[in-house]
Amino acid sequence: MKLALATLFVASASAFAPASTSSRSTGLQMSLKDDMANVGKVALAGAIAFGVAAAPAQAITKSEINELSYLQVKGTGLANRCAEVIGEDTIKPKTGQKLVEMCIEPKAWAVEEEIGKGGKTEKKFVNSKVMTRQTYTLEAIEGPIKNDGVIIFTEKEGIDYAATTVQLPGGERVPFLFTVKDLVCKGNGDSFKPGFQMGGDFNTPSYRSGLF
């Protein structure tokens, strides 16, 4: 059984919103354009570990995407891109708020293989090439936030899984379900800021199909 690992980019959430189940009304709506635009983009690597990184040269923002028509997006691959947050600042969310419209875009893929050398076998992650057409980005992910000195995010809904296939250098193809379903991740602080990291566990739903 092979283990696939994706190095990902979380284009972040476009807003923090008060959770509907919260007993108090925070009345806080921090938009991507006004408040989140300065947070710095967040990267997701390995087993859902978040961190801030520099924006690539071909970064595209949410406002730029919103200015495009359907025909301008059609066939370009932009529909599979996450909007990227550029800048730096700090946001301290409160318990009862929700993280919404989070987007996760894979940037690199690796598959764990057993490699024989000198009569011994060892496990190594081998870089692979994604074969799935541009439909593997997860988006519209949302869930409540708890902050008691440490940020905890719980994924509740969204397009949180995608059937994906990658190809190893030797030509072997490995199908798997790229997912963050039911993700519960814990941060290393109480604020979203450059250097912030968070990680946690998630479930992989059963996925069976003759096409997968």
Mean pLDDT to the nearest integer, 157-164? 90
Phi, psi of 111 (to 5 degrees): -125, 135
Q: Are 5 and 109 in contact (CB under 8 A)?
A: yes
Q: What whole-number percentage of the chain has pLDDT above 90?
A: 29
pLDDT bracket for residue 1 (50, 70, 90): low
Question: Which amino acid would we find at residue 168?
Answer: L
- 97 or 2: whose pLDDT is higher? 97
pLDDT bracket for residue 212 (50, 70, 90): very low
**CA–CA distance, 84 with 81 (Å, rounded to integer):** 9
Q: Are 42 and 10 in contact (CB under 8 A)?
A: yes
- Which has the minimum average pLDDT: 15-24, 99-108, 173-182, 193-202? 15-24
Q: Are 32 and 44 in contact (CB under 8 A)?
A: no
Query: Residue 76 corresponds to which tokens in the numbers above?
Result: 């370009």
* pTM more than 0.85: no
Task: For 87-144, write each residue's pLDDT tens digit.
Answer: 778 999 999 999 999 999 888 899 988 887 777 888 889 999 999 888 889 999 999 9
pLDDT bracket for residue 6 (50, 70, 90): low
**CA–CA distance, 161 with 177 (Å, rounded to integer):** 7
Predicted local confidence at residue 167, as pLDDT:
93
Mean pLDDT to the nearest integer, 143-147? 95
Interacting residues of 192 by C-beta distance below 8 A, sequence separation 6+ = 39, 42, 90, 91, 92, 93, 151
Query: Does the pLDDT at position 47 exceed 80?
Result: no
**CA–CA distance, 58 with 171 (Å, rounded to integer):** 29
Mean pLDDT of all residues belonging to the chain:
75
Three-state helix/strand/coil letters over the chain: CCEEEEEEEEEECCEEEECCCCCCCCCCCEECCCCHHHCCCEEEECCCEEEECCCCCCCCCHHHHHCCCHHHHCCCCHHHCCCCCCCCCCECCCCCEEEEEEEEEEEEEEEEEEEEECCEEEEEEEEEEECCCCCCCEEEEEEEEEECCCEEEECCEEECEEEEEEECCCCCEEEEEEECCCCEEEECCCCECCCCCEEEECCCCCCCCCCC
Predicted local confidence at residue 152, as pLDDT:
95
Query: Does the pLDDT at position 211 exceed 70?
Result: no
Q: Are 16 and 32 in contact (CB under 8 A)?
A: no
CA angle at 150 for the pair 149 and 156, rounded to the nearest 5°: 130
pLDDT bracket for residue 2 (50, 70, 90): low
- Which has the minimum average pLDDT: 5-14, 64-73, 95-104, 169-178? 5-14
